[in-house]
């Protein structure tokens, strides 16, 4: 029962204490009271004297509840609920909850206002982007038109000056007679990705170079030591090197002297200088053969076709005196005469020395001279493929069975309540 129920239902006590334990203010029961308030008693603890008894003045937010038996009417239960409601609404927890609700209301209003502002800003940006895109398209079209006009004008100006379209004359001028025949593609033993040089052919090719080609062409980038383990043994190479005299010095007297060759020496040149080479070849300079395979379009196929492509000058074709006709050479006229004939050299291993066999062997030797690291490079490449294949297999295993579970997992954070 609340204070209001107490004041409304029992205006005063006249004759004795009410039934039950009574109502006690915070100051305790008045003197002489035995379980209730008694009228006509002097004021105690600050309660004023009223007609019919004492009426206490409870402090604010104070609820006095009398426990009623369950057998009483439902009014007592309703009073208890009302008392709990009044107690809860007057508590600090209710004030905090009310503030949270108000804050949430303002927060939702601010959120909706922010979304509205963002949508308006997005619309403005879209309109600005569309405007910028339109301007960019106009600029792009103008640039395209200007570039096209400049290109067409340049072509017209060039045609007016030179009487022909640019580049067309240069492309059409290279006829087969001027450019030379394209060589056929030959099945070289070292052409495959995993193929190595035919070292027996390299040995025979060096013999052809030494007995035929070395009279005019140099091999400046190849030393005697490069032949060791490739085509000859160490003793064989030392013997060949000692057959050549090299100028060295100065000695203690300050004079140059001649000495036998050694493994560190490079292969000797046939001429001491370029002028001597031109003088000995009717003005033509024999090229160095160290990189000739890499320096010519077509590579080994071109050099082989050139060595075996000498034919008689066809009718209607005129070449200058001292030149030789070879359809694979650009222009068809070459200063070098045919040098390979059947049986020109005698191979140590008994291989028939036909012109095509000698050309094939010397081209193989020159291919090795252009790439001495050829076999080692392919060997290292195969080792790298094996290593990388193993690493790929390990990577696939780790990706499939180890990393996939880590990559696809989801981590959820449940904050403490």
Q: Is pLDDT above 90 for 22?
A: no
What is the rounded average pLDDT for all residues in the chain? Answer: 79
Peptide bond preceding 304 in cis form (omega within 30 of 0): no
Per-residue pLDDT at 281: 93
Each residue's pLDDT tens digit, 75-103: 445 556 556 556 666 666 667 666 666 66
The tokens for 161 are 């000056």
Residue pLDDT, tens place only, 296-313: 999 999 999 999 999 999
213 is known to lie in a ligand binding site? yes
Binding residue per annotation — 358? no
Residue 370's pLDDT is what? 97
Residue 162 or 8, more confident: 162
In the predicted model, is pLDDT for residue 145 greater than 80? Answer: yes
Cα–Cα distance, 180 to 54 (Å, whole number): 136
Higher pLDDT residue, 40 or 254? 254
Q: What backbone phi and psi angles, to 5 degrees, belong to 102? A: -65, -40
At 28-66, the pLDDT tens digits run 555 554 444 444 445 444 444 445 444 455 554 444 444
pLDDT band at 114 (very low <50, low <70, confident <90, very high): low
- 12 known ligand binder: no
Contacts 24+ apart (CB under 8 A), 14-18: 14/39, 14/52, 14/53
pTM comes to: 0.57
**CA distances from residue 60 to 29, 91, 109 in whole angstroms, order as listed:** 20, 12, 36
Task: Answer yes or no: is 217 a known binding residue.
Answer: yes
Please write down the HEC assignment for all residues of the chain.
CCHHHHHHHCCCCCCCCCCCCCCCCCCCCCCCCCCCCCCCCCCCCCCCEECCEECCCCCCCCCCCCCCCCCCCHHHHHHHHHHHHHHHHCCHHHHHHHHHHHHHHHHHHHHHHHHHHHHHHHHHHHHHHHHHHHHHHHHHHHHHHHHHHHHHHHHHHHHHHHCCCCCHHHHHHCCHHHHCCCCCCCCCCCCCCCCCCCHHHHHHHHHHHHHCHHHCCCCCCCEHHHHECCCECHHHHHHHHHCCEEEECCCCCCCCEEEECCCCCECCCCCCCHHHHHHCCCCCCCCCCCCHHHHCCCCHHHHHHHHHCCCCCCCCCCCCCCCEECCCCCCCEECCCCCCCCCCCCCCCCCCCCHHHHHHHHHHHHHHHHCCCHHHHHHHHHHHHHHHHHHHHHHHHHHHHHHHHHHHCCCCCCCCC
Q: Read off the pLDDT band of 122 (50, 70, 90).
A: low
Asked if residue 176 has pLDDT above 90, the reply is no
Taking only Cα atoms into account, the Rg of the chain, rounded to an integer number of angstroms, comes to 57
User: Which residues does 309 contact at the CB level (< 8 Å), separation at least 6?
Assistant: 181, 326, 327, 328
């Amino acid at each position: 029962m609340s204070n209001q129920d107490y004041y409304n239902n029992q205006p005063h006590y006249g004759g004795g204490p009410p039934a039950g334990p009574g109502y006690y203010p915070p100051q305790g029961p008045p003197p002489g009271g035995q379980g209730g308030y008694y009228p006509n008693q002097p004021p105690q603890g600050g309660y004023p004297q009223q007609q019919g008894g004492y009426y206490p003045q409870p402090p604010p937010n104070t609820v006095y509840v009398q426990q009623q038996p369950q057998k009483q009417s439902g009014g007592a239960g309703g009073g208890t609920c009302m008392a709990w409601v009044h107690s809860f609404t007057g508590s600090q927890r209710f004030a905090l909850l009310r503030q949270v609700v108000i804050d949430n209301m303002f927060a939702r209003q601010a959120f909706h206002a922010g979304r509205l502002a963002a949508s308006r800003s997005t619309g403005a940006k879209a309109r600005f982007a569309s405007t910028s895109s339109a301007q960019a398209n106009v600029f792009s079209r103008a640039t395209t038109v200007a570039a096209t006009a400049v290109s067409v004008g340049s072509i017209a100006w060039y045609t007016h000056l030179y009487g022909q379209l640019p580049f067309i004359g240069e492309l059409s001028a290279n006829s087969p007679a001027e450019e030379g025949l394209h060589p056929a593609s030959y099945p070289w033993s070292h052409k495959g990705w995993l193929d190595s040089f035919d070292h027996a052919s390299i040995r025979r090719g060096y013999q052809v170079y030494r007995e035929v080609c070395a009279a005019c062409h140099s091999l400046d980038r190849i030393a005697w030591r490069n032949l060791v383990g490739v085509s000859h043994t160490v003793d064989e190479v030392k013997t060949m090197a000692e057959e050549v005299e090299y100028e060295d010095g100065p000695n203690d007297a300050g004079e140059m002297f001649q000495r036998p060759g050694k493994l560190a020496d490079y292969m000797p040149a046939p001429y001491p200088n370029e002028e001597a080479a031109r003088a000995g070849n009717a003005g033509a300079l024999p090229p160095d053969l160290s990189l000739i395979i890499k320096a010519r379009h077509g590579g080994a196929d071109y050099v082989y076709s050139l060595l075996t492509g000498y034919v008689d000058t066809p009718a209607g074709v005129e070449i200058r005196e001292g030149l030789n006709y070879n359809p694979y050479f650009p222009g068809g006229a070459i200063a070098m005469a045919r040098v390979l004939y059947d049986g020109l050299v005698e191979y140590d291993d008994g291989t028939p020395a036909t012109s095509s066999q000698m050309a094939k062997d010397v081209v193989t030797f020159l291919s090795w001279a252009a790439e001495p690291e050829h076999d080692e490079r392919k060997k290292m490449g195969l080792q790298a493929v094996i290593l990388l294949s193993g690493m790929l297999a390990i990577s696939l295993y780790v990706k499939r069975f180890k990393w996939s579970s880590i990559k696809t997992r989801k981590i959820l954070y449940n904050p403490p309540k």
